[in-house]
Amino acid sequence: TKQIKAARKFDPILAKLDPATRRQLELLKFAGQPAPDDPAAADQLAKIGAEMSSIYGKGKACVKGKACLDIDKASAAMQKSRKPEELLGIWTAWHDSVGRAERDLFGKFVPLANAGAKGVGFTDVANMWKSGYDMPADKFEAETDRLWGQMKPLYDQLHCYTRRKLNKMYGDKVQPKTGAIKAHLTGNMWAQTWTYLYKELEPFPGQASIDVTPTIVKTMNDSKKMVKFAEQFYTSLGMPELPATFWERSMFDKPKGKEAICHASAWDVTFANDLRIKMCIQKTQEELEVIHHELGHNYYFAAYYQLPMLFQAGANDGFHEAIGDTIVLSATPDYYKERGLLKTVVKNEKATINGQMLSALERIAFLPFGLVIDKWRWDVYAGKVKPADYNKHWWDLRAKYQGVTPPVERAATDFDPGAKYHVPANVAYTRYFLARVLQFQFHRALCKKAGFTGPLHECSIYKNKEAGAAFWKMLQAGASKPWQDILFDLTGSRDMDATAILEYFAPLKTWLEEQNKGQTCGY
């Protein structure tokens, strides 16, 4: 915060400075959550932040008469159970205990964080967050709405199909035929991805399985094996091996007899290639994908660590979140077969639709959730919603964008946003929404570099050195130029744009529209 303020004395002469110096001075403003001027307030902000994270990390879902579950165990239970009462019990236990415990702390956190943002020239934290994209804050917000508008028709189709299937499974009492989807029925604590409903939603049952979880369980008893597996994709592109310190200093498993924040994260500890991940790896396909995601952060760190400190960042934060996800888009059935995780690959139209459904339950279902968390926080930090209405506003937005509703009546004393990691950890979330769009733009550009000419969803850049070199070059640029320039260098476009994701999912969209014909969709 001191450095940001010291740097501001150059504001009057910014235009006269060389572009690199100017850019670094501008980027400094976004280097972290600034502290308020008052030392007592600064201290309080830090303490409350740490306490909120700690409460989340220790959080348990305790259902009467059953063992208490940490978030990984509660998540595993929700992935598997199809008993509405059991799902409701776990959902409610987690939200009631963790959410409510965060409520008062978050209420105190907001004005303190805003004071910090004000001190460095923003109106509030929302304004600070939205200003970090090389364009005016209101323009950026409009961009997110534009992108959502491009993708909403596809989401609506998936929502319609999913709701109908859930209604058939559970009956009108549990999941009504119309309106929103009940949040406890999607196989995920936050209804943010619906991957675990795949079996029930599978378009053409009986095709060869595309789920690699069983093979992971059988062949990867050591978490390190899963990380090595992911690293090998990156090295196949010509990228370097991870440094020895990565293997020594990372946390792959939950430490025995200790509490830990298990939410996966990647760390650039010294800005000097001391890169690590911190996870409690589960033996599932989803977790294997998360490992690829985290390594994407690490490879970004590794590519740009020799740049000036302030350029050691993603072109924007959505880029950072999109790197590993781009790699996962190349994990096609053929790829998994080549790597020994799938025995047989079936190739026909039905198998294509099945594969697209599995992918959409993760990537398309997520889209409005990726938007809603910060739509809510933008309003909260800007003072547009009073603390007494925090929870109501949360569910209003979730109903409006996601078409998701809580399974039981919620009250103003509840604080359901606090039950999602990024709220107590104060990690901005729009980055994940942007990443979902960008990863398909990257994928399309890299497939082109690789000389691939077939349908986008069949492309894998595995082992392709041309694609790898282009990707690495983008990573090496870090934040040294506006993201528009960096995006242009890779893709030939200066805009974030949903045409690539729509192109990728075109077969599924057609199939869903057919399925939903004559149905009343919408929420």
Give residues in contact with ligand ASP (CB under 6 A).
Answer: 264-266, 290, 293-294, 297, 321, 432
Name the residue whose CB lies closest to ligand ASP.
264
- Residue 265: name its binding partner from ligand ASP, ligand SER, Zn ion, none (Cβ under 5 to 8 Å by kind): ligand ASP
How far apart are the C-alpha atoms of 346 and 430, rounded to whole Å?
36
Largest pairwise CA distance in the chain? 69
CB 522 within 8 A of CB 177: no
Name the minimum Å distance from CB 269 to Zn ion. Answer: 16
Q: What three-state secondary structure class fits 275?
A: strand
Q: Of residues 302-341, which lie at the interface with Zn ion (CB under 5 A)? A: 321
* 372 vs 447, beta carbon nearer ligand SER: 372
Q: Residue 416 touches which of ligand ASP, Zn ion, ligand SER, none (CB < 5 to 8 A by kind)?
A: none
The amino acid at 156: D
Cβ contact 366:436 at 8 Å: yes
Answer positive or negative: Cα dihedral of 461, 465, 471, 472.
Answer: positive
Chain residues that interact with ligand SER, rule: CB under 6 A: 192, 432
Taking the complex as a whole, the smallest distance from the CB of residue 297 to Zn ion amounts, in Å, to 6
Q: Tell me how far, at minimum, the Cβ of 280 lies from ligand ASP, in Å.
A: 12
Report yes or no: 169 and 201 within 8 Å, Cβ to Cβ: no
Least distance in angstroms from the C-beta of 199 to ligand ASP = 24
Q: Which of residues 91 and 300 has its CB atom nearest to Zn ion in the complex?
A: 300
- The binder of 401, among ligand SER, ligand ASP, Zn ion, none, by C-beta within 5 to 8 A per type, is none
3-state secondary structure 239-268: CCCCCHHHHHHCECCCCCCCCCCCCCEEEE
* b/e burial code for range 377-386 (CB count within 10 A of at least 16 → b): bbbbbeeebe
Closest CA to 184 of 96, 286, 103: 96
* Pick 140 or 432: Cβ nearer ligand ASP: 432
Q: CB nearer to Zn ion: give 399 or 427.
A: 427
Element holding 296 (H helix, E strand): helix 285-304
Q: Which is nearer to ligand SER, 23 or 184 (CB)?
A: 184
Q: How far is the CB of 17 from ligand SER (least distance, A)?
A: 37
Give 91 or 432: the residue with its C-beta nearer to ligand SER. Answer: 432
Instruction: Please report whether residue 289 would count as binding Zn ion according to CB under 5 A.
Output: no
DSSP, collapsed to helix, strand or coil, labels residue 461 as coil
**Chain residue whose CB lies nearest ligand SER:** 432
Q: What's the closest the beta carbon of residue 277 comes to ligand ASP, in angstroms?
A: 8
Residues 120-159: x/- map of binding to Zn ion (CB under 5 A)? ----------------------------------------
Where is 182: in which H helix or E strand?
Answer: strand 181-182
Instruction: Indicate the residue among 42 and 216 with the shorter CB distance to ligand ASP.
Output: 216
Q: Which is nearer to Zn ion, 183 or 230 (CB)?
A: 230
Instruction: Tell me the closest approach of the beta carbon of residue 432 to ligand SER, in angstroms.
Output: 4
Neighbours of 200 (CB within 10 A): 14
Q: Cα angle at 368 between 365 and 370, to 5 degrees?
A: 95
Instruction: Say if CB 467 and CB 448 are below 8 A apart.
Output: no
Cβ(137)–Cβ(30) under 8 Å?
no
Q: How far is the CB of 116 from Zn ion (least distance, A)?
A: 24
**Residues of the shown chain interacting with Zn ion in the complex, contacts defined by CB under 5 A:** 321
